[in-house]
Copies of this chain bind each other. A is one copy, B any other.
Amino acid sequence: MVSPKYHVFVCTSCRINGQQSGYCYSKDSVDIVQKFVEGIEEYELSGDVMVTNTGCFGICDKGPVVVVYPEGVWYGNVSIDDVEEIIESHFEAGNPVERLII
């Protein structure tokens, strides 16, 4: 497997016991995942960007948390309204969104 240019991990508070509950989940992170998936298609970036939902990163007070590898950019307090800016600025233009970096 060749890694994508940007692999976006979005915490949806999946627990390994099968429950989905926690801070990121309560702050609409499932909608954030869907907005990323739709936006990446819209911007025709499917070849460059992969989106994966995750369990807790352990920094719930900074949630919703979005991590972008291989760069290792950590975004916090992400809202649905921030997703388009991340796609456009970071994934399309190559400039991470500084104001969201934690």
Whole-angstrom CA separation of A14 from B70 in the bound complex: 22
Minimum distance in angstroms from A35 CB to a CB of chain B? 12
Closest partner residue, chain B, to A11 (CB atom):
B52
Q: Which of B2, B20, B50 contacts A14 (CB 8 A)?
A: B20
Q: How far is the CB of A22 from chain B (nearest CB, A)?
A: 12
Contact indicator per residue, chain A 1-39, by CB within 8 Å of chain B (1) or not (0): 111000101001010101110000000001001100000
Q: 1/0 contact trace for A41-67 toward B, CB 8 Å? A: 000000000101111110100000001
Residues of A at the B interface (CB closer than 8 Å) are 1-3, 7, 9, 12, 14, 16, 18-20, 30, 33-34, 50, 52-57, 59, 67, 69-72, 74, 76, 102
